[in-house]
Amino acid sequence: MKIKATNIEGCFELYPTVFNDERGYFFESYNKVTFENLSGLKVDFVQDNQSFSKRGVLRGLHFQRGIYQQAKLVRVIKGEIEDVVVDIRKDSPTFGQYFKTVLSAENNKQIFVPKGCAHGFLVLSEEAFFNYKCDNYYNKESEGGILYNDVDLNIPWSISDSELIISDKDQVLPRFKDISAL
Ligand SMILES: Cc1cn([C@H]2C[C@H](O)[C@@H](COP(=O)(O)OP(=O)(O)O[C@H]3O[C@H](C)C(=O)[C@H](O)[C@H]3O)O2)c(=O)[nH]c1=O
């Protein structure tokens, strides 16, 4: 497992060691000791999530507030997505910056999304299975979000608006300038 910093403080990519043989492949998708040794962080993940989406589905940008803020370790089991992390920590040196990268079943790449960041993804392949760990439980009342095409963030999603599939809830999320930073 290797890790690589991103432009957002505390957000990093993880590249697992893949063992290929004539049967296929094997890799440790998560190992607490390895994660802690490489990141220097002690993270207690308490909830695993999985979602399935078709091409053009955009989920996010979501976060949870207060004591329910979540750090996440995200990955793709099948397909390919464009993953975006936005720093909404008002005291962070990278406040208001976003990080965007492709996660896929081919690159097996993962992202650690620190607490205080909004997260979302766009499915580029025909279908994608997305799987992630959270270090805090879901709390509907604490949910917040930012409109995916916020003009200030100006995130260059790779699929045009006309082809996007976005939930009713996500279509009416507030603009970045209107959320109270964490
Ligand atoms: C997140 C979550 C949702 N739910 C229920 C609530 C809804 O009835 C249903 C779908 O929820 P939602 O439309 O919020 O699912 P996503 O749009 O995939 O939300 C996720 O999208 C982006 C990419 C994220 O990073 C967040 O983890 C998460 O907000 O699952 C639960 O029961 N538990 C949960 O932890």
Domain boundaries, the chain: 44-177
Spatial CA neighbour of 15 closest among 144, 142, 107:
107
Please give the pLDDT value at position 3: 97
**149 vs 61: CA distance, rounded Å:** 10
Mean pLDDT of 168-177: 96
**144 vs 118: CA distance, rounded Å:** 9
Tokens 């959270």 found at: 134
**Res. 111: pLDDT tops 90:** yes
Establish whether the linkage from the previous residue to 164 is cis, with ω within 30° of 0. no
- Distance from Cα 19 to the centre of ligand 1, integer Å: 32
**Res. 112: pLDDT tops 90:** yes
**Res. 182: pLDDT tops 90:** no
**Hey, whose CA ends up nearest to atom 33 of ligand 1?**
138
Answer whether 62 contacts ligand 1 (Cβ < 6 A): yes
Please give the pLDDT value at position 180: 83
- 62 catalytic? Reply is yes
CB 131 within 8 A of CB 54: no
**Which of 45, 59, 170 most suits a substitution to test ligand 1, by most atoms within 8 Å of the C-beta?**
59
- 15 catalytic? Reply is no
Identify each DSSP E strand in 10-168 by its residue range.
12-15, 19-21, 24-26, 47-54, 58-64, 72-78, 80-87, 98-104, 110-113, 117-123, 127-134, 143-145
Has this prediction a pTM greater than 0.80?
A: yes
Mean predicted lDDT score pLDDT of the chain = 97
Answer whether 7 contacts ligand 1 (Cβ < 6 A): no
Please give the pLDDT value at position 160: 93
Planar angle of CA 18, 133, 113, nearest 5 degrees: 90
CATH 2.60.40.10, domain 44-177, yes or no? no
**Hey, whose CA ends up nearest to atom 6 of ligand 1?**
140
**Hey, whose CA ends up nearest to atom 32 of ligand 1?**
138
Among residues 98, 119, 132, 148, which one is catalytic?
A: 132
pLDDT digits (tens, 9 = 90+) for 123-136: 999 999 999 999 99
Mean pLDDT of 20-24: 97
pLDDT digits (tens, 9 = 90+) for 32-82: 999 999 999 999 999 999 999 999 999 999 999 999 999 999 999 999 999
Answer whether 51 contacts ligand 1 (Cβ < 6 A): yes
- Distance from Cα 76 to the centre of ligand 1, integer Å: 16
Confidence tier at 181 by pLDDT (50, 70, 90): confident
Answer whether 119 contacts ligand 1 (Cβ < 6 A): yes
Percentage of the chain modeled with pLDDT above 90: 98
Residue-level length of the chain: 182
Residues 6+ apart with CB under 8 A from 107: 15
Confidence tier at 173 by pLDDT (50, 70, 90): very high
Please give the pLDDT value at position 145: 97
Please give the pLDDT value at position 121: 98
- Distance from Cα 24 to the centre of ligand 1, integer Å: 32
Mean pLDDT of 151-162: 95
**29 vs 71: CA distance, rounded Å:** 17
